[in-house]
Amino acid sequence: MSHPNDPPLTYRDAGVDIDAGESLVERIKPLVQRTRRPECLGGIGGFGGLFELPVDRYRRPVLVSGTDGVGTKLKLAFALDRHDTIGIDLVAMCVNDVLVLGAEPLYFLDYFATAHLSPKHAESVITGIAAGCEAAGAALIGGETAEMPGMYPPGEYDLAGFCVGVVEKDQIIDGSKIRAGDQVLGLASSGLHSNGYSLARAVVDRSGASMDHPIGNTTLGEALLAPTRIYVRSILTLLETVPIHGIAHITGGGLPDNIPRILPAEHECRIDPTGWSRPEIFNWLQSEGAIDNTEMQRTFNCGIGLILVLSPEHATRAQETLKASGETVYLLGEIQEGNQGVVFD
């Protein structure tokens, strides 16, 4: 029961600082401005973000949406007190999912939730989100910053993102054109991207290694925190050059679980497991965790972030185009008739 002499309570007393939230909005406006596209109407701070559909460039436009987070990779960002790249991961996970259907990402929204808002950390995270949006050509048109006392441990936060893209209806890439004899190309990942971190952190804990432990020409911390690669510009350029029958984003479940998502019935993908160079971080994780090959393949991308399926006559030109866009690309195998999903041989 309250006492007559008790001072009046405020929202700040309860743990929510409205002034800090308003200050953050002002601090991030220049970041948002850098991502702006001609179709953007208005700015941030309103109840909703406005975006004019570019109907002048599309005959039968189909909107493609995707939402995702970055999982327990956040725990590494907290441990290392590095918050400037995790936003890139958030954007990458969403735009790459939209991209595989042949869509151009148009705009992005984020959700940032924490127990106590640190404008410094939040601005750092949103700096990464804006950088990811710039890399993908998507406008950051809005978001939500939620300060929820008691919901998260001190210094921690959660992230979610949402992306909308557009594709011409007759140019949707859904795997239906995949045929036996098609070639399978793999685009190199930048590392773990944003999947498998619960297992990766368990390996680190068991090993007792510090984040400064050398891994190739970098450190364990840097290798684990390397931002997810955004493939948007490279793939959109490629789609202007050659037809692609299928694209798979290699996320949780690795190659064995993600490639079958685009395969027609009675088709399988045969992959040469020695057909690409696996980044050293995966070798270290497998060795320190005594992880068998099947578990590695189903948990991590193992160095391949995106799979492309296309006709053999287009494979060479596709590789040349992708390399010119800065991608590292491997010829991994081919599509055959069968029912085994992905076969490593």
Model pLDDT for residues 229-261, shown as the tens digit of each residue: 999 999 999 999 999 999 999 999 999 999 999
* Residue 239 and residue 108 share a domain: no
pLDDT confidence band for 162 (50 / 70 / 90): very high
Q: What is the mean pLDDT of residues 151-158?
A: 94
Q: Is residue 187 within 8 Å of residue 322, measured between CB atoms?
A: yes
Asked if residue 280 is part of any domain, the answer here is yes
The CATH number assigned to the domain holding 219 equals: 3.90.650.10
* Residue 328 and residue 235 share a domain: yes
- Residue 216 structural domain: 183-344
The CATH number assigned to the domain holding 64 equals: 3.30.1330.10
pLDDT in tens, 261-272: 999 999 999 999
Q: What is the mean pLDDT of the chain?
A: 95
Q: 183-188 and 139-147: which strand pairing?
A: unpaired
| pLDDT attached to residue 344 | 94
* Residue 228 and residue 133 share a domain: no
For residues 1 and 227, which has the higher predicted lDDT (pLDDT)?
227
Asked if residue 289 is part of any domain, the answer here is yes
HSE at residue 312, side-chain half, CA atoms within 13 A, is: 8
| pLDDT attached to residue 303 | 98
For residues 219 and 22, which has the higher predicted lDDT (pLDDT)?
219
| Distance separating alpha carbons of residues 345 and 54, to the nearest angstrom | 45
| pLDDT attached to residue 310 | 98
Among 147, 171, 195, the domain-final residue is 171
pLDDT in tens, 120-150: 899 999 999 999 999 999 999 999 999 999 9
3-class secondary structure, 314: helix
Q: What is the dihedral of CA 261, 262, 265, 269, to 10 degrees?
A: -90
Asked if residue 2 is part of any domain, the answer here is no
| Distance separating alpha carbons of residues 331 and 329, to the nearest angstrom | 7
Among 171, 196, 218, the domain-final residue is 171
Q: Is residue 86 within 8 Å of residue 226, measured between CB atoms?
A: no
Look at the chain and report how many structural domains it folds into: 2
Q: Which of 274, 298, 55 is nearest to 166 (CA)?
A: 55
Bridge partners (DSSP) of residue 331 are: 185
User: Which range is least confidently modeled, 86-90, 151-155, 179-183?
Assistant: 151-155
* Residue 213 and residue 158 share a domain: no
| Distance separating alpha carbons of residues 163 and 97, to the nearest angstrom | 9
* Residue 338 and residue 189 share a domain: yes
pLDDT in tens, 296-337: 999 999 999 999 999 999 999 999 999 999 999 999 999 999
Q: What share of the chain is helix, strand, coil (3-state, %, to 5)?
A: 35, 25, 40
For residues 23 and 87, which has the higher predicted lDDT (pLDDT)?
87
* Residue 187 and residue 161 share a domain: no
Asked if residue 113 is part of any domain, the answer here is yes
Asked if residue 178 is part of any domain, the answer here is no
* Residue 137 and residue 96 share a domain: yes
| pLDDT attached to residue 2 | 60
Residue 294, Cβ density class (10 Å: 0-12 exposed, 13-18 middle, ≥19 buried): exposed
- Full-model pTM: 0.95
* Residue 325 and residue 220 share a domain: yes
Among 143, 171, 199, the domain-final residue is 171
Asked if residue 12 is part of any domain, the answer here is no
CA distance readout (Å), 285 to 201, 276, 281: 10, 18, 6
What token pair was written down for 154? 């001190």
The amino acid that residue 174 corresponds to is: D
* Residue 149 and residue 32 share a domain: yes
Asked if residue 5 is part of any domain, the answer here is no
| Distance separating alpha carbons of residues 304 and 294, to the nearest angstrom | 16
* Residue 132 and residue 31 share a domain: yes
Asked if residue 11 is part of any domain, the answer here is no
| pLDDT attached to residue 140 | 97
| Distance separating alpha carbons of residues 145 and 109, to the nearest angstrom | 11
pLDDT confidence band for 25 (50 / 70 / 90): confident
* Residue 155 and residue 77 share a domain: yes
* Residue 112 and residue 258 share a domain: no
| Distance separating alpha carbons of residues 216 and 254, to the nearest angstrom | 23
| Distance separating alpha carbons of residues 101 and 114, to the nearest angstrom | 33
